[in-house]
Amino acid sequence: MNPWLGWALAAAALFLGWRSYGWPGIALAFSVIVFWLLLQFNRSVRAMGGASESPVGRIDSAVMLNAKLRERLPMLEVIKLTKSLGQRISDEPEVWRWADEGGSSVEVTFVNGRCSHWILQRPEISEEAAE
């Protein structure tokens, strides 16, 4: 959610609570806002907890990750998909890499915490190995 939209909704809830019920309405609106923030925090902690059990930058299949990625996907959702924290490649632009056991990897570029584009890199297969 856009932070500006979130703050606008919180302000609207407080205003409507005040206009409708006075101080009890503000208390109710504040309780709803805190509950929403706790839900978001819990969601983040679960994603990070799941990712903490895997090696950094490792995934089962880079090709499958490549197929599941889409533009504007939040980083938290990418971490849920990979079940692993990525290996940071660069800070500006923010690029993270996930690789599989076969040597294939996906480099994902994030702008403002959202996926802007990604590149699937596969190892070259020599002619001797192909035969």
Which CATH topology does 62-127 take? Beta-lactamase Inhibitory Protein; Chain:B, domain 1 (3.30.1450)
How does pLDDT run across 1-49, given as a tens digit for each residue? 677 898 999 999 999 999 999 999 999 999 999 999 999 999 999 999 9
33 CA to centre of own chain: 22
DSSP-derived pairing of the beta strands 114-121 and 87-90: unpaired
CATH 3.30.1450, the chain: domain bounds? 62-127
Q: What is the mean pLDDT of residues 104-114?
A: 95
Res. 127 pLDDT band, cuts 50 70 90: low
Q: What is the mean pLDDT of residues 50-65?
A: 92
Res. 130 pLDDT band, cuts 50 70 90: low
**What is the structure's pLDDT at 106?**
97
